[in-house]
Structure 1
Amino acid sequence: MASNSRQPAKRVLAPELTSAHTQVEGEAEDEDTNPPNFLVLPSGAGANRVLMVGVATEIDDVGQDDEYLRLRCSDPDGNVFFTYAGQYSKGPKATITDLEVPSRVAVIGKPKTYEQEGDVFVSLNPETVHEISEEEYNDMVLEAAEATVERFAGEASSEKFETLAQSAHQESERVEVYDRCVEVLETLHEDMADDPADDTFSEDELEQKDYDELRALASEFDSVSGNAAADDIVSALAGEPRPA
């Protein structure tokens, strides 16, 4: 009998999703199920399903014979990811059709790689698309940033996918992805700050601050997350959890 279990959706930021370019086949649970495919994330984890949030900025019909909608989303730092919905994604397609742009959305879906003019790109086959509030959007961006930092720190990665990530990406590429994800966190802080011009810092400036200074910087997130996420992120930043 086929299993109805699904891989958990990983919270991923756009810079990491779009920097990935390798998919591998996992192991089937039994002979009646198809093996899951995993996108090898630069942080050293495998993602069969992902949870992404962004601001929907464009909806286009890119189909030839049948309607095939492309949803363009961007994160707080302007990084872009795409979701495609056609006849086999009727629920998400209906939601996308009714969206007004710009609007904040949360997308759960399966990442899919495809080649175009020799380059590899990643898009999402959506399972669900939901419009969310600004508060939910900020909270979910923060949670994705925290999950990303934990993966790069080795707390949420796996030996198998870490080895695959090292093979698929040069160290400099992985550091660049990490830095871009941290920039998303900084931009979210800037958007939330009362005076963003005085409250934003470069990565070099962050690295020169001690824990208490970093904790004060991240305190803005407490009102959004409602948990200890700010402490966790600051601890990770202070420890410089970058790929070895």
Structure 2
Amino acid sequence: MAATPTREVAHRVFAGEFNDATYTFKESDDDRAPVYVLLPTGERANRVFVVGTLTETEDVGEDSEYWQGRIVDPNGDTYFAYAGQYQPDAASMLRELEPPAYVSIVGKPRTYETDDGEVNVSIRPESITPVDETTRNRWVVETAERTLERVQNYAEADPTQDDYAADEYVQMAHDEYEPAVENYRRLVVEALESLEEETAEPEV
């Protein structure tokens, strides 16, 4: 009996890093092999899990409905999600939701090269779910932890250092992006600070 294929882990990632993840690759020549984006902190991602504020929805389709959702994370950075006839549940959610609203999205990263050679990164959602502020805040904390883990792993595996631990995805990220990983540590600090400001008791 053939083994049931398992879904890839959905990685938590802030929009600032997600939008920098412009390099995609496969790990085999099989037509059905998963496509990964390479996060600048040295991790591959076939699926992502993001939570933020849905600030805008628009039907950008020409011949049929094709919904665009604009989702903002606590740093003010933006994810774009697109859903059409092949993602009917997600498209229906984008059609029906009234921004602003907190939403969680699980989906696959997609890249698109514009006419002027820029690469845009977006999400093709598997699911879009309205959530409350508590869920959003928990996602921010967990995403901060995962991002810091990736930054730390990158630092330990940085091939420019003499005493480094080899990691193929860190090596790939170094070759493709030469990222300033401290930028992503700063995203973490800013996200947690914005959370503290939101939850701080108002002065009387």
Match of residue 41 from structure 1: 39
Which 4+ stretches in 1 moved above 4 angstroms? none
Matched residue type, 2:152? A
Match of residue 26 from structure 2: 25
Q: Does 1:175 align with 2:177?
A: no
Matched residue type, 1:40? L
Q: Structure 1 residue aligned with 2:66, among 56, 64, 68?
A: 68
- Note if contact 1:19-1:177 (Cα within 8 Å) is conserved in structure 2: no
Q: Does 1:164 align with 2:164?
A: no
Higher strand share: 2
Counterpart Cα distance in 2 of 1:2 and 1:109: 23
Match of residue 145 from structure 1: 144
Match of residue 163 from structure 2: none
Which is further off, 180-189 or 133-142? 180-189
Counterpart Cα distance in 2 of 1:2 and 1:125: 26
Q: What are structure 2's unaligned runs of at least 5 residues?
A: 158-165
Counterpart Cα distance in 2 of 1:55 and 1:67: 22
Counterpart Cα distance in 2 of 1:84 and 1:128: 11
Shift of 1:20: 1.1
Match of residue 79 from structure 1: 77
Matched residue type, 1:169? Y
Matched residue type, 1:144? T
- Note if contact 1:16-1:181 (Cα within 8 Å) is conserved in structure 2: no
Which is further off, 68-77 or 175-184? 175-184
Match of residue 9 from structure 1: 10
Counterpart Cα distance in 1 of 2:126 and 2:3: 19
Q: So what's the TM-score if we normalise by structure 2?
A: 0.87
Match of residue 162 from structure 2: none
- Note if contact 1:15-1:181 (Cα within 8 Å) is conserved in structure 2: no
Counterpart Cα distance in 2 of 1:16 and 1:105: 19
Shift of 1:191: 1.3
After superposition, the Cα gap between the structure-2 partners of 1:97 and 1:2, relative to the gap in structure 1 and judged at 3 Å, is farther
Matched residue type, 1:193? A
Q: Does 1:127 align with 2:134?
A: no
Counterpart Cα distance in 2 of 1:55 and 1:122: 18
Counterpart Cα distance in 2 of 1:2 and 1:98: 38
C-alpha root-mean-square deviation of aligned residues, in Å? 2.2
Match of residue 95 from structure 2: 97
Higher helix share: 1
Give the fraction of aligned pairs with identical amino acids, expressed as a percent. 36
Q: So what's the TM-score if we normalise by structure 1?
A: 0.73
Deviations 1:85-124, CA, capped at 9 Å, x for gaps = 0010001111111111000000000001111121111000
